[in-house]
Structure 1
Amino acid sequence: MSSVRVVPETELMSGEELSADDAWHTVRRYGLGHLLATAFVRFRYGDGFSHARAFALQLALAAVPLVIAGAGLASALGVESFAEVVARTVVAISPGSSDSLLSEVLDGRPDEGSERAEVVVVLGLATAFAAATSAFAQLERGANRIYGTKRDRQALRKYGRAAVLTATAGVAMAFGLLLIVAGEPFGEAMEQVYHWGDGAEEVWDALRWPIGLAALVVAVTLLFRHAPRRRQPGLSWLAVGAAVTVLAWLAGSGLLALYVVAAAGFDDTYGPLTAVMALLLWANVTGIALLAGLALAAQLEAVRAGRPDPLLPDSDDDGIPDELDEHPGSPAR
């Protein structure tokens, strides 16, 4: 349950329209270090960790059927060579002894032209889309609690908006993540299957990073703008939180990759499930990065509105905010 102050909507404040200069002036005046510290308090007491875990579960549930459906779709369309590229890429990025399990799953995709193939592909894509929609609906709930909004949108509006975000921000995010995380093994697989030259592979390696980062920035900006149930400020006011999200995600993903590869016993402990555990950890890192960036954007807006303290007052320190306590100010029990 969230116990943070509501962030006033700056669009409703009197005066001139807020600008990018105003956003950076607020950051400099308040101090980036202090802003990060209070944003973490808002994230923590807005129950950010719990909502990040819920988002991560739904994201992981969307990833597995999406991979299988993608490989099956390539086969059903008769593009066997591209299906092989997908299989090689997935196996290349999977850690440890998960390789054999993933190879069996991908090699067992339905044959081209069969009715069963079409059913499996459609069900896989539908399952992935439904899980991703649920993930973005969960992201709205987490964002609302961080901003101090007590209720989500009505169910139809909430899940309808989540479905639109899945088709837009979700696709952009998946595209950016694939370019950054799987870009190198994808290029190697394309070279092996389609016999790319060295020049083409060098161009691919040079372009995938800026394009992938641009896709991530666009996806995060769309989520920050449209996920919370409130009127958000201009994009420049969301840029600080979006930048922190992308940087935190890149750093967290890199450290997680090093841990999975270097940690003694990780592969031995989970065996064929190593890739599944790594996926769950990575999805949790992604959820934390998104909601932490939202908390920073929320705190920046709260500072601009003159409410720098992110917590609701609790005068008796009993863990219940005064506005919810029947006897505020009484000695803590």
Structure 2
Amino acid sequence: MSSVRPVPETSLMSGDRLSVDDAAHTLRRYGLVHLLRAGALRFRYGDGFSHARAFALQLALAAVPLLIAGVGLAASAGAEGVSEVVARTVLALSPGTSDELVEQAVRGDAPSRAGDDDSPVAERGELVLGLGLLTAFGAATSAFAQLERGANRIYGTERDRRFVAKYARAALLTGTAGAAMAAGLLLIVAGEPFGDAVREVYRWGPVAETVWDVVRWPVGLVLLVVAVTALLRFAPRRRQPGPSWLAAGAAVTVLAWLAGSGLLAVYVVVAEGFGETYGPLTAVMALLIWANVTGVALLAGIALAAQLEAVRAGEDDPRLPDSDDDGIPDHTDPGRR
């Protein structure tokens, strides 16, 4: 349930009704700290944490079958090198206490290579692996549909798009912005182990490895910013302002995600009890926490972009009026009618 003021669609307003005319001027005039504080209120009263958890669950449900089916299909198609690179990258990223479980899930129940005739991966039917990819795509589509719902509530929009339009748009976002975001995440989070796996499998030279280490950071950041900006532009059910008004929210999302992912990585490595507590399920718990960090970062960026536009239209307080402080906004309080 959202209890935030709806954000006026400033793209429909005439110039004399706007408080300022550009995003940079708004940031300077009202102050980044003030906007961050008001954006946090909008995130909270727009029920951002609940929508972030729902998004995270669908994201995690998409990630697992995507990795397993991707490795299996690559092996079935004869691309054993690709399959081996993906498997080594996933194993390098997984916490040590869950290596055996992750290896069984990705490679199969036997340690043999994916392309061997006796390998369990090779014995899996291509139809089953294809259904796994469809399952991953369906879960990712559901995640982006949930992102629309969360964005709408943060903007104060009470109804989502109609079912067909909502999920068709979510599927399109999955194949475009979602793919770009996944590529950016791969370059930044898994860039080093991915490069090591490619070097070992395809015998990369030192020059190629150096170029990869230098290029992957700017390219990954650009992909993330573009993907998040596209999500902020096309996910909510409203007419959004120009990209410059969404760039601040996209930047906050990327920075929050980088900080959250870095802290999670440090916690998993440093905290002695994390691996001991969850044992072979450590990788699963780390994936769920990381997915939740991703959802919170995305919706936090949406909240900042929404508040920036609200301030542009003269709406400083994101909360709906509640004169008697009973938790029920005045316009829906039966006692005030």
The verdict on a shared fold, with TM-score over 0.5 as the criterion, is: yes
Residue 55 in structure 1 maps to residue 63 in structure 2: no
**In the alignment, structure 1 residue 67 sits paired with structure 2 residue 67:** yes
Matched, 1:165 2:173: yes
Equivalence map 1:311-322=2 (5 Å): 311-322=319-330
| Partner residue, 2:89 | 89
- Which amino acid in 1 is paired with 2:244? S
2:287 to 279, 285, 294: 279
Would the aligned equivalents of 1:111 and 1:117 in 2 still touch at CA under 8 Å?
Answer: no
SS in 1 for 2:284: helix
1:295 matched to 2:278? The reply is no
Corresponding position: 1:25 with 2:33: no
Could you tell me which amino acid in structure 2 is paired with residue 247 of structure 1?
Answer: L
Among the aligned pairs, what percent are the same residue? Answer: 73
| Residues in 2 aligned to 1:8 and 1:17: alpha-carbon distance in whole angstroms | 11
Q: Which amino acid aligns with 2:184?
A: G
Residue 76 of structure 1 contacts residue 112 of structure 1 at CA under 8 Å; is this kept in 2?
A: no
Residue matched to 2:102: 102
Please say if residues 69 and 130 of structure 2, whose CA atoms lie closer than 8 Å, have aligned partners that are also in contact.
yes
**Displacement after TM superposition at 1:195 (Å):** 1.3
1:223-253 CA-partner distances (Å, limit 9, x unpaired): 0000000000000000011000001100110
For the structure 1 residues 125 and 147, does the alpha-carbon distance in structure 2 shift closer, same or farther, using more than 3 Å as the test?
A: same
Asked if the contact 1:57–1:280 (Cα under 8 Å) also holds between the matched residues in 2, the reply is: yes
- Is 1:76 the counterpart of 2:84? The answer is no
Q: What secondary structure is seen at the aligned counterpart in 2 of 1:149?
A: coil
Structure 1 CA distance for aligned equivalents of residues 52 and 319 of structure 2: 20
Offset at 1:115?
8.2
Q: How big is the shift at 1:150?
A: 0.5
Give per-residue Cα distances to partners, 1:126-180, cap 9 Å, x unaligned. 0100000000000000000000000000100001100000000110011110111
Distance 2:7 2:151 in 1: 12
Q: Structure 2 residue aligned with 1:251, among 255, 259, 280?
A: 259
Q: Which residue pairs with 2:13 in the alignment?
A: 13
Counterpart amino acid of residue 65 in structure 1: P
Equivalent pair of 1:72/1:117 in contact (CA under 8 Å): no
Offset of residue 122 of structure 1: 0.5
TM-score, length of structure 1 as denominator length: 0.95
Count of residues paired in the alignment: 328
Conserved 8 A contact 1:316-1:328? no
Partner SS for 1:100: helix
User: Comparing 99-108 with 28-37, which one deviates more in the overlay?
Assistant: 99-108
Partner of 1:225: 233
Q: CA separation in 1, counterparts of 2:222 and 2:43?
A: 26
Deviations 1:50-69 (A, max 9, x none): 00000000000000001011
SS in 1 for 2:233: helix
The residue number in structure 2 matching 1:149 is 157
Q: 1:39-82 CA distances to partner (integer Å, 9 max, x unpaired)?
A: 00000000000000000000000000010111112101101122
Shift of 1:15: 2.2
- Output the CA distance in 2 between the equivalents of 1:13 and 1:165: 28
Contact 2:15 / 2:21 at 8 angstroms: preserved in 1? no
Q: Distance in 2 between matches of 1:72 and 1:302?
A: 48
Q: 1:115 to 1:296 in 2, by over 3 A?
A: same
The runs of 5 or more residues in structure 1 that have no matched partner are none
Instruction: Name the structure 1 match of 2:244.
Output: 236
- For residues 98 and 176 of structure 1, the distance between their equivalents in structure 2, rounded to whole angstroms, comes to 25
What secondary structure does 2:78 align onto? Answer: coil
The superposition leaves residues 69-118 of structure 1 with CA deviations (integer Å, 9 ceiling, x where unpaired) of: 11112101101122111111100000121111111222218767978431
For 2:106 and 2:246, locate their aligned partners in 1 and report how far apart those are by CA, in whole Å: 40
In structure 2, what is the equivalent of residue 197 of structure 1? 205
Paired AA for residue 206 in structure 2: D
Q: Which moved more, 1:76-85 or 1:309-318?
A: 76-85
Mean CA deviation greater in 316-325 or 212-221: 212-221
Q: Deviations over 1:291-327 (max 9, x none)?
A: 0000000000000101111000000000000000011
Task: Give CA-to-partner distance per residue, 1:229-285, whole Å, 9 cap, x none.
Answer: 000000000001100000110011000100011112100110110000000000000
TM-score, normalized by length of structure 2? 0.94
- In the alignment, is the contact (CA less than 8 A) between 2:58 and 2:140 conserved in 1? yes
Kindly indicate whether residue 264 of structure 2 is the aligned counterpart of residue 264 of structure 1: no
1:2-49 CA-partner distances (Å, limit 9, x unpaired):
00000000011012899x971110111111111100000000000000
Q: How does 1:321-332 map to 2 (within 5 A)?
A: 321-328=329-336
Unaligned segments of structure 2, at least 5 residues: none
